Amino acid sequence: MSALLELRSVTKLYRVGRSLSLKPRYITAVKNVSFSIPGEKPAIVALVGESGSGKSTIARLVLGLVKPTSGEVLYRGKSVGTWLREDPTTFRREVQAVFQDPYSTYNPFYRVDRVLYLAVKKFKLASSREEAERLIREAMRALGLRPEDVLGRYPHQLSGGERQRLMLVRALLLKPRLLVADEPVSMIDASLRAIFLNGLLQLKEEQGLSSLYITHDLHTAYYVADKVVVLNAGRVVEEGPADAVFEQPLHPYTQLLLKSVPLPDPRERWREKLSFELEQLEKTRPEKGCPFQYRCSFAIERCKMEDPQLVNVGEERRVACFLYEK
């Protein structure tokens, strides 16, 4: 059985600078990225990294909003480009998205119900208005939203948390197989964040929905994900089961990230001071070699010359670092 989603050596370059110049310049948003979400049973895969690591570009590639410069993005064994040419309706129904900003997703002039009814209509999920309403109410209750609190309201009357959950309701209605969630909780309050994340877990358990959960927040990634893929400067530097990666991070970049996350416990403050030279902070994209070489305390001469490749280290774990090469 083919994987639900598979990225094979995907590279995406964006052209920057003046369009008339003779020599166009490119930045590499994503470089040679491969990972997959298995098809056998539903899973949540978290894609974590700092800003500029290429996380959102990957979301856009998976949704078919941009095309890879090289490599392939396969959904159920077929490339996203082919899906969109041959059967866009099925692809658009099976692969749903939730984005970061719960404000800009809604048209402020319409009641929020509209995004739900439109989805029902577009994908012909119900034969009558009554049936549509019944489906919508069921889906809302399944995610702990009270239809009477939400239906008939305008977007500005709902909290960010409710608006994001309504996007999950929409996803639930369409019975998708894959949800691409790009920083879905970074703009909502802590008290509502947990409710959204629990909704994601619930959809996985009850509806068999797999998710690609994209975030810079390692705590929430650890909370929901089965598998974690760590990105640095557009490249996968580490991959593995969530528990293993968080308990024993291998790549020095993952170690730095985990060490820098403040814990919600005043007894566990940082003891040592972290400091970098300016050069280390500024140069994040070396011309060649390991993308993390400037900030890495283990960097050797080889790291400046060669790209470390992802190598298997133990069960389901891969890391791109010379420290682990035999």
Stretch that binds another protein, among 77-85, 113-121, 126-134, 192-200 (CB under 8 A): 192-200
Decide whether 68 or 102 has the Cβ nearer to another protein: 102
Q: Using the rule CB under 8 A, is 273 a contact of another protein? A: yes
Site for another protein in 223-252 (CB under 8 A): 223, 246
Decide whether 193 or 235 has the Cβ nearer to another protein: 193
Stretch that binds another protein, among 101-109, 113-121, 194-202, 204-212 (CB under 8 A): 194-202
Q: Using the rule CB under 8 A, is 197 a contact of another protein? A: yes
Q: Using the rule CB under 8 A, is 264 a contact of another protein? A: yes
**Of 93, 7, 1, 100, nearest to 45 (Cα)?**
7
The crossing angle, in degrees rounded to 10, of helices 190-207 and 160-174 is 10
Stretch that binds another protein, among 130-138, 207-215, 278-286, 317-325 (CB under 8 A): 278-286
Whole-number Cα distances in Å, 179 to 107, 208, 274, 317: 22, 11, 37, 24
One DSSP character per residue, 153-207 reads --GGGS-HHHHHHHHHHHHHHH--SEEEEESTTTTS-HHHHHHHHHHHHHHHHHH
Which residues, other chains included, contact 65 with Cβ-Cβ below 8 Å and sequence gap of 6+?
none
Decide whether 259 or 302 has the Cβ nearer to another protein: 259
15, 18, 23, 267: which one contacts another protein (CB under 8 A)? 267
Beta carbon of residue 268, minimum distance to another protein (angstroms, whole number): 8
Stretch that binds another protein, among 19-27, 126-134, 160-168, 313-321 (CB under 8 A): 160-168
**Of 57, 48, 56, nearest to 256 (Cα)?**
48
144, 152, 208, 314: which one contacts another protein (CB under 8 A)? 144
Cβ atoms of 39 and 76 closer than 8 Å: yes
Beta carbon of residue 161, minimum distance to another protein (angstroms, whole number): 8
Q: Using the rule CB under 8 A, is 14 a contact of another protein? A: no
For CA atoms 315, 219, 165, 230, the dihedral sign is negative
Q: Which residues bind another protein (CB under 8 A)?
A: 50-51, 144, 159-162, 189-198, 216, 218-220, 222-223, 246, 256-257, 260-270, 273-276, 278, 281-282, 295
